[in-house]
Amino acid sequence: MTDLFKLIHLVAAIFWMGGMAFMLLALRPAAVMLYQAPERLMLMGAVWKRFFPVVLISIVALFTTGSHLYTNVYRAVKAATGQGGVPLGWNLMLVLGLLMMVIFAYIYWGAFTKFKRAMTELDWPSAGKEAMRLHKWIVVNFTLGWLAIAAVRLVP
């Protein structure tokens, strides 16, 4: 069961991190090179509309499997030694992972909602502003994701 949980955790991380990598390193630069607003905003809006539900599913999977893996070991250590404890890297992953989830909630329910409203009103300057805000927070989450992965691998 633990192996299955680890696999699901990894798959969810690959979907989220891989999607951000593709968007930031390939799709967005290509869109900036080839299109102007409003076409560029329409393209990115259509991409986000499809990608963000994937992130929501990944988050549910990461949180449920991650907390299961974490508490399993915490309890086993407590049973064996009388005190709970997990590697520091795991605690860093927990904190950074939760932070990423809060930031995504802001991206999805904050910036993306405003972006969609501006697009419906054909208000391109406001839509462009929200798109830029959204992009910056995706860069932050991408960075935090790599820090979380580095922490769980490298910090004992």
Tell whether residue 69 is a contact of ligand HEM (CB under 6 A).
Answer: yes
Residue with Cβ nearer ligand HEM (10 or 46)? 10
Eight-state DSSP code of residue 122: T
Tell me how far CA of residue 50 lies from CA of 19, 129, 136, in angstroms: 11, 21, 19
Tell me how far CA of residue 78 lies from CA of 3, 67, 75, 81, 126, in angstroms: 21, 16, 5, 5, 53
CB of 138 closer than 8 Å to CB of 21: no
Interface stretch with ligand HEM, choices 9-17, 32-40, 45-53, 121-129 (CB under 6 A): 9-17
The CA distance from 95 to 143, in Å, is 14
Q: What are 121's two structure tokens?
A: 């009103």
Q: Which residue is nearest to ligand HEM (CB)?
A: 66
Tell whether residue 20 is a contact of ligand HEM (CB under 6 A).
Answer: no
CB of 75 closer than 8 Å to CB of 84: yes
Residue with Cβ nearer ligand HEM (19 or 45)? 19
Tell whether residue 126 is a contact of ligand HEM (CB under 6 A).
Answer: no
Residue with Cβ nearer ligand HEM (70 or 108)? 70
- Greatest Cα pair distance in the chain: 62
Tell whether residue 64 is a contact of ligand HEM (CB under 6 A).
Answer: no
The CA distance from 102 to 10, in Å, is 20
> Per CB under 6 A, which of residues 81..110 are in contact with ligand HEM?
90, 93-94, 97-98, 100
Tell whether residue 55 is a contact of ligand HEM (CB under 6 A).
Answer: no
Interface stretch with ligand HEM, choices 77-85, 114-122, 124-132, 147-155 (CB under 6 A): 147-155
Residues at the interface with ligand HEM (CB under 6 A): 6, 9-10, 13, 17, 62-63, 66-67, 69-70, 90, 93-94, 97-98, 100, 145, 148-149, 152-153
